Structure 1
Amino acid sequence: MQKNDIGVNWIAVEIRAETLKAWAMKDTRALASSTANRTQSGLESELLALIGHWLTANVRIDVVACGPSEAPLHPIPAKPAELSAVAAAIADKRVALSYLPGLSQTAPPAIMQGPETHIAGFLSLNPGWDGVICLPGAQTVWAHVSAGEVVSFQSFLTLGLIQTLSRDLQISGCGAEFGNDDPAFAEAVNETLTRPERLATRLAAIPAQHRLTGQTHKTGYAQLLGFLIGAELAAARPYWLGQQLAVIGDNDAASAYQRALSLQGAPSVLADDTATLLKGMAERRIIL
């Protein structure tokens, strides 16, 4: 569909390390979406290939993006919904491109670029909410939120480690079969929380168990997730223990985090990834 066919008046874009996703927006409503894998052609080329069918000659449209490494960073404490977008250079005159700022923290050193927009959307959808928000992703973020501000956060590379180790252990194809109700997942989470010093040796035992006992790769994958998510929960304990919790995501990883938390007696609400993102982008676009 062309822009004029569906009434698009701005475009929302989420930029991730491996993917781009765009939504054709009419005010706060998404009319269409488009997704593409990242290439080596450069961000502008990738972006225009993704949204070009929504552009019209001689008509300039706002394109608001979150997640690019080029976006500025704002130190915490900060209210994500109140951070102004900044104009970004682009050669195509049909596009008025702007980037939403990410957040930075000096101690411990951490940055987030993209999750802050989900946080803004979640807080807009849940006024007055205080607590800790977990955002599973290439860098999983735990953010402590109070009075609309991100006051501290911590990042983990857990899911990237799972992806790499699942290939090394030759169980990467089992992710689609994983269910977070698998007893092996629960046992692994609790094992790492109880004996975190045994993490490396427990990981090394996964392929040995397959060869010596016939343990399935599906069970091995459940153990891998459980061991590493359990290790993350052990490190992030000050964030989730005794807090009101939310997990943002609509994939198996988000469900696994929610299940792991519930095993520790820490209930959480599961919020939709796209709904929080688009709400956050729409809210932040207002202050452009």
Structure 2
Amino acid sequence: MAHKQYILPSAGDRCHVMGILNVTPDSFSDGGRHEAAEAALAHARAMIAEGADIIDIGAESTRPGAAAVDETAEWARLEPVLEPVIALGVPVSIDTYKAAIARRACALGAALVNDVWGLQKDPAMADVVAEAGVPVVMMHNRLEADASIDILSDMDRFFERSMEMAARARIPRERQILDPGFGFGKTMDQNYLVLNRLDHLARHGLPVLAGASRKRMIGAVLDVPTGERLFGSLAVHLLASERGAVIVRVHDVRPHVEALAIQAAMRREAFAGEPVRTGH
């Protein structure tokens, strides 16, 4: 099946919203909620109706302490859901670090690969992405947090390795996207340093995705449980967009679509002298 092509937002457009669809029993925020195929499809439809630009489907939790899932189990969770969601007509991203899963998902029509290990976990991943001809999100990750390191320098080195792997596999630069990996192998202070200095990533010349939806970095500041972190998530993602992110990965689609539309209207008026457009 040919994939529904994903096209990054143009200058002046609203930052794109990637809606999260977890088909896992143990994700930190919504584990088990969309595990059944019917529930997953209904949630995908709802996110599309709310304005999601892309749906990100994952079948293995990457929360701290989550049990690893083998390829067979991961595909068993994905298979009943993936093709029906792709058929809805909005680009679909596959959230996996396993090359075999990415290959099968792209063969069904997935439009993007979202790799939380930035092509560095599975040596076959870069070639799979190149063969599929889809964009890839390369996320910064660490096995554990270390408060003593310069996290920005660590990210630079990590992304340089990822970009080298992408180049060797002949993944065009216009299909490479960086993700700073909020909450992955970072202390709380490092998460906020990365947010504050997100424009640092501009030196790599690639678009940036930010995903902090409902994460502990928000709960720690606001002292609210996972399900009550919408307002904090909006704040972090609006700040990330101001600092250069062109995609945000979220659980709550409509609030982000609307907040980012207001931000885009302000940008058009302030920087481009264009009239403010109505509607999405």
Query: TM-score, structure 2 length as denominator?
Result: 0.28
Pick 1 or 2: higher relative contact order, CA cutoff 8 A, min separation 6: 2
Greater percentage in strand? 1
Give the greater-gyration-radius structure (CA). 1
**Normalised by the size of structure 1, how large is the TM-score?**
0.28
